[in-house]
Amino acid sequence: MNNYKITTLNDFIILKQKDFPYAKGELSSLLSHIGTAAKMVNKKINKAGLVDIIGSSGEVNVQGENQQKLDVYADEMFIGSLLSSGECCGVATEENENEIVFSDSFASKGKYIVCIDPLDGSSNIDFNVSVGTIFSIYRRLTQRGEKVNNEDFLQKGSQQVAAGYIIYGSSTMLVYSTGYGVNGFTLDPSIGEFCLSHPDIKTPEDGSIYSVNEGNYVHFPEGIKKYIKYCQELDKESSRPYTSRYVGSLVSDFHRNLLKGGIFLYPENRTAPKGKLRLVYECNPIAFIALQAGGEASDGNCSLLEITPQSLHQRSPFYVGSKNMVRKLQEFLHLNR
């Protein structure tokens, strides 16, 4: 009798690979390397308050944002791990202006490219608020052995082969999908393994949480203002008024709503006329997870995964979460164009 109840991330990846007779283990290896880098980053984050690794690196990143030391560490960890997997031929990250092409003869034959925000919400690190890593995996468009180029990284979100996030919170979780459902793994520090804790995550079609930075309210489009007021009105049938929950860390806000039901909104506003969040390595991977869990994601005009990116760091308005809540929001946007 097998009393070994724990399914580690690597067990699960190998188990699922068996469902694909032609799989050669390349994606499995890539996902496993992402898990390893996540454990390394987690270790540093957990010690952030104890060693001189919090605070600013003194540098400013391509976004013009003050780069935190842990941003730099996380960026290096994930890039290094993806390179060593040999399955990834290039990486686009929030911290680098252009895509990083792996010229190493081994990696340049990799089948996949990865887009990643190595440490999202890093400005929260110094205040011990949860932060996250968000990643997106595509098959390369250029031929293996050729040099990857920009078009490899500007594919529609619907072309993602896999996507996921790591949330470094009260516990550290890795949540990912390869297009066949969403599964969550919680890091057990005593054995240093991500263990299956949330199999086959489905997000409720309705929820009672709305997540938006209401400090920008006066600059929101009319439809968004009307939707927020709708959330705040009393209505027993639709369990309104809803509860407002906003951490200011995308992965934290999304993860809570994914499990409990809810909607996350980052609309365009005066200071962010195209929205603040990045389409390629923040919105698309989160949207992929949401849809795989039965939710929806939009930029207010169309399904987010159908947008063809024009540039690596392109921003987009972002509405994601419970299907019926996203659809209700779109009604308000449509009626108030």
Residues near ligand P6P (CB under 6 A) are 120-121, 123, 213, 248-250, 276
**For ligand P6P, the closer CB: 13 or 212:** 212
Residue 33 or 276 having the CB closest to ligand P6P: 276
User: Could you give the CA distance from residue 196 to residue 48 in angstroms, rounded to a whole number?
Assistant: 26
**What is the closest distance, in whole angstroms, from the C-beta atom of residue 121 to ligand P6P in the complex?**
4
Structure tokens at 98: 């252009």
The secondary structure element, H or E, covering residue 56 is strand 56-60
Question: What amino acid occupies position 1?
Answer: M
CB within 8 Å of 7: residues ≥ 6 apart = 15, 195, 196
The distance of closest approach from Cβ of residue 191 to ligand P6P in the complex, given in angstroms and rounded to an integer, is 30
Taking the least distance from each CB to ligand P6P, the nearer of 133 and 330 is 133
* Distance of closest approach, residue 124 Cβ to ligand P6P, in angstroms: 7
Cβ 123 to ligand P6P shortest distance, Å: 5
Q: Give me the least distance between CB of 245 and ligand P6P, in Å please.
A: 12
**C-alpha span between 282 and 22 (Å, rounded):** 30
Look up tokens 């407002």; give the residue.
244
Of 121 and 309, nearer to ligand P6P (C-beta) is: 121
Interatomic CA distance for residues 213 and 202, integer angstroms = 26
| Cα(83)–Cα(110) distance, integer angstroms | 9
Eight-class DSSP state of 278: B
Q: Which is nearer to ligand P6P, 129 or 195 (CB)?
A: 129
Phi-psi region of 309 (alpha: psi -120 to 50; beta: other; left: phi over 0): beta
- Asked if residue 134 lies in contact with residue 165, where contact means CB atoms within 8 angstroms, the answer is yes
Query: Which is nearer to ligand P6P, 154 or 265 (by Cβ)?
Result: 265
Min dist CB 72 to ligand P6P, Å, is 16
